[in-house]
Each structure stands twice: as C-alpha cells, then as structure tokens.
C-alpha cells in the first residue's frame, strides 16, 4: 500500500451507498486516504434519504454529484469497493477488490437508511484500520 492509499467506492447509480461510504472515509481518515466514488449508470442526484441520514451524522453530502465510473478511476485506485449492487470494476493486477453486501437505500425513507449508513461507517472504520491507521507518536 502506498503512503497515501486510494479507495474507489462503486455502485450502479453512485447515489446512495457509494456516496455515504466516500463521505465516511473522507470524514474519518481525513487526508490520509484519497477517496473516489462512481457508478456505471449515475443518477441525476444523490438520494435525498442518504443526504438526510448523513446530515444527522454531521456530514453534508448535499452538494455531491453522482459520477460515471471510468477505467482511469479504477486504475488510479489501490482498493475498489463495490457496494453489493452488482456493479463490476475493470480488473487490474495489484488492486484489491472488495464487495460489501449492503441493502439498497433507493426508494426508502431516512429511517430505513440509518442502519445502512451505520453499517457503512463500521466497514469504513475497519478499512481505515487496515490501509491507513492513525500514525503513532
């Protein structure tokens, strides 16, 4: 793993799970990790229930815009995480690929999105511990 690992979160619409995961990683790891998210068929906007659930956790993703998945984004990332949505990343040697089986927040209210948000946080915390732990004094 390089000094500053790079993580790409991928979900078809890049509107819920991948956006929440990217926000958690940015929030929890700060500048220790480079963060990207994308989808093969990006939605027009981030899921409003995901925006509200993250706002409740003190993280604003209201200005995020779903992005299209590119081969370059995968190639430039050390870890590619699909969000259990059936999307796939182009395979490159030396990359780490993970698939996190998570419920889809699409069409659900904020109450149903909260447990998804919390599970994503837990998985992101575990990922940080592996690839970018806090520096020791």
Catalytic residue positions, numbered: 11, 85, 89
Cα-Cα end-to-end distance for the chain: 21
Token pair in block for residue 74: 């995968």
Comparing C-alpha atoms, which of 137, 132, 100, 130 is closest to residue 20?
100
Give the CA-trace dihedral at 79, 127, 64, 8, to 10 degrees: 0
Q: Which residues contact 29 (CB under 8 A, 6 or more apart)?
A: 35, 128, 132
């Amino acid at each position: 793993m390089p000094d500053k690992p790079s993580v790409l979160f991928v979900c078809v619409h890049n509107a819920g799970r991948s956006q929440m995961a990217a926000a958690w990683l940015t929030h929890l790891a700060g500048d220790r990790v480079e963060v990207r998210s994308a989808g093969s068929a990006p939605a027009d906007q981030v899921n409003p229930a995901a925006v509200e659930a993250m706002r409740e956790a003190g993280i604003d993703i209201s200005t995020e815009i779903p992005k299209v998945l590119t081969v370059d984004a995968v190639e430039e990332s050390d870890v590619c995480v699909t969000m259990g949505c059936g999307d796939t990343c182009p395979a490159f040697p030396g990359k780490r690929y993970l698939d996190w089986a998570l419920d889809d927040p699409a069409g659900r209210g904020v109450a149903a999105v909260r447990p998804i948000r919390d599970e994503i946080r837990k998985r992101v915390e575990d990922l940080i511990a592996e690839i970018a732990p806090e520096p020791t004094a």
